[in-house]
Amino acid sequence: MQLFFDRHLAFDNATFLIEANESNHILRVLRKNKGDIIFVTNGMGDVCKAEISNIISKRCEINILETFSEPPLPYDLHIAIAPTKSADRFEYFLEKSTEIGITEISPIISENSERKRLNNSRCQKIIQSAMKQSQRCHLPKLNELRDFKTFINSNFDGYNTCIAHCEDDQKRLFQSERRKHDKILILIGPEGDFSPEEIKLALSQGFKAVSLGDKRLRTETAGIVACAITSYS
């Protein structure tokens, strides 16, 4: 199944006009033609099997042949993570976490953060591409970049909240916390780790200190490992 994305996809009518950028990918990059069968999702679990019926102003018009839904992930994983100094490494995290399975991503600015700006539009495109490539039909939510203190004071009712840091404090295994609850939020810091003050603040807000293993991981690797643990626990 070759999957395409249009967040405005609706099944109210038998036909639908796919937005320009995705139409360009379908027609010019993949060289699809009238009569070809494609699959389109709106990123909210809804999918249609459709036939390209017409090309209107360089946009694909599709005939919806069949509709179905993909169930959501059996868990709700929210990762709040400090973007890495190297944009490529953070983009790698976005791609791989989407492929493995994640529901929400919150980029955060920590005291030791080296990257304090983010191209949100580019990040969205990377997540969309990874969703299509992995044939997932639920698009992870990407939040705007926020500073740590603003984020930590948000409402996380219903979540099992954790912080992964590198200090030699007593920590619980993330696997054990994952098994306790299907809604989990984990904080992952920058290359220089969270500051002692940030760790103290998180713990005072009810976050539990967790370990992702006995080795020190890069920021993006820690995010991917958290996804893998959550997915396969």
Res. 179: pLDDT tops 90: no
Is the pLDDT at 1 greater than 90, yes or no? no
Mean pLDDT rounded to a whole number for the chain: 95
CA dihedral 133, 136, 139, 140 (to 10 degrees): -90
Given a contact cutoff of 8 angstroms between Cβ atoms, the answer to whether 18 and 59 are in contact is yes
For residue 100 the two structure tokens come to 């493995």
**Which one is the CATH code of 3-69: 3.40.640.10, 3.40.220.10, 3.40.50.300, 2.40.240.20?**
2.40.240.20
pLDDT band at 119 (very low <50, low <70, confident <90, very high): very high
Section 90-100 average pLDDT: 98
Is residue 215 predicted with pLDDT exceeding 90? Answer: no
Residue 45: closest CA among 142, 134, 138: 138
The contacts of residue 154 (CB under 8 Å, 6+ apart) are none
Tokens of 125: 């495109």
pLDDT digits (tens, 9 = 90+) for 124-152: 999 999 999 999 999 999 999 999 999 99
Could you give the CA distance from residue 37 to residue 160 in angstroms, rounded to a whole number?
Answer: 43
Are 3-69 and 76-232 equal in CATH topology? no
Tokens of 63: 């005939």
* Distance set, CA 62 to CA 38, 46, 128, 200 (Å): 9, 16, 20, 54
Residue 169 has pLDDT above 90, yes or no: no
Tell which CATH classification among 3.20.20.70, 1.10.287.3510, 3.40.50.10710, 3.40.1280.10 matches the domain 76-232: 3.40.1280.10
Confidence of residue 167 (pLDDT cuts 50, 70, 90): confident
Read off the DSSP letter of residue 70: P
Say yes or no to pLDDT of 2 above 90: no
What pLDDT shows up at residue 180? 80
Give the pLDDT mean for 40-50: 97
Per-residue pLDDT at 93 exceeds 90:
yes
What is the value of pTM for the model shown? 0.94
Write down the domain spans for the chain.
Answer: 3-69, 76-232
3-state secondary structure of 178: helix
**Poorest-pLDDT segment among 27-31, 68-72, 213-217, 220-224:** 213-217
What is the reported pLDDT for 168? 83
Q: Which of 96, 219, 85 minimizes the C-alpha distance to 165?
A: 219
- Stretch 209-220: mean pLDDT, rounded? 93
Average pLDDT, stretch 68-72? 95
pLDDT at 114: 92
